[in-house]
Structure 1
Amino acid sequence: MTQVSGLQAEIVEKDLTEYLTAKIRTEIAPDDDIFATGLVSSMFAMELVVHLESTYDIAIIGPELKLDNFRTAKVMTALVLRLAEDD
């Protein structure tokens, strides 16, 4: 089990999957590409940035602000853990 700064990967991934499912009102899996499916727009990515920053007390700036970092709950989990580790 990965744990960084008190965050556990499994918990972050579960929370993000539940958040995404609630926001887009469609059941998704951690590996589902929410942008490729057409379920969300690129504008939703900015909402995700705000959600991740406020929920996990991280700053997503510069090169981290690429769409590929927000495609799946699994990828977002890796981003959160990486940025939390840097703090």
Structure 2
Amino acid sequence: MTATLGPDEIRERTRQYLTTSLARELGDDEDIFAAGFVNSLFAAQLVMFVEERFGITVENDELELAYFSSVNAVTDFVAAKTDRAR
């Protein structure tokens, strides 16, 4: 279950997903939107990945690029959501 995942595991699983999906290596702070690696369809897929893989719900008011722009941004977002859920 996601509640048992620490930031390192969240980061690794997110990095793995992005690296595989984008077919390129990314730095953990590399902004995938600013770099032009993704489009709005991929952004929706990334949100679905986060919800399904980490067992959280992304609320409408949380659909901010800042939360999904990099490996570290996703890690921080998921860690914060799972801390609130405990």
Instruction: Assess same fold via TM > 0.5.
Output: yes
Counterpart residue number, 1:30 = 28
Show the 5 A alignment for 1:4-83.
5-83=3-81
Over 4 Å off, 4+ runs: none
Q: Percent identity?
A: 30
Does the CA contact (< 8 Å) of 1:52 and 1:58 recur in 2? yes
Q: Where in structure 1 are there 5+ consecutive unaligned residues? A: none
Deviation string 1:34-80 (CA, Å, 9 cap, x unpaired) is 11111111221110111000001000003211111110010100111
4-13 or 19-28, which deviates more:
4-13
Looking at both structures, which has the greater relative contact order when contacts are Cα pairs under 8 Å and sequence separation is at least 6? Answer: 2
Q: Larger helix proportion, structure 1 or 2?
A: 2
Q: How many residues are aligned here?
A: 84
Cα pair 1:35 1:42 within 8 Å, conserved: no
What amino acid maps onto 2:20 in structure 1? A
Q: Choose between structure 1 and 2: higher strand proportion.
A: 1
Length-normalised TM-score, structure 2: 0.90
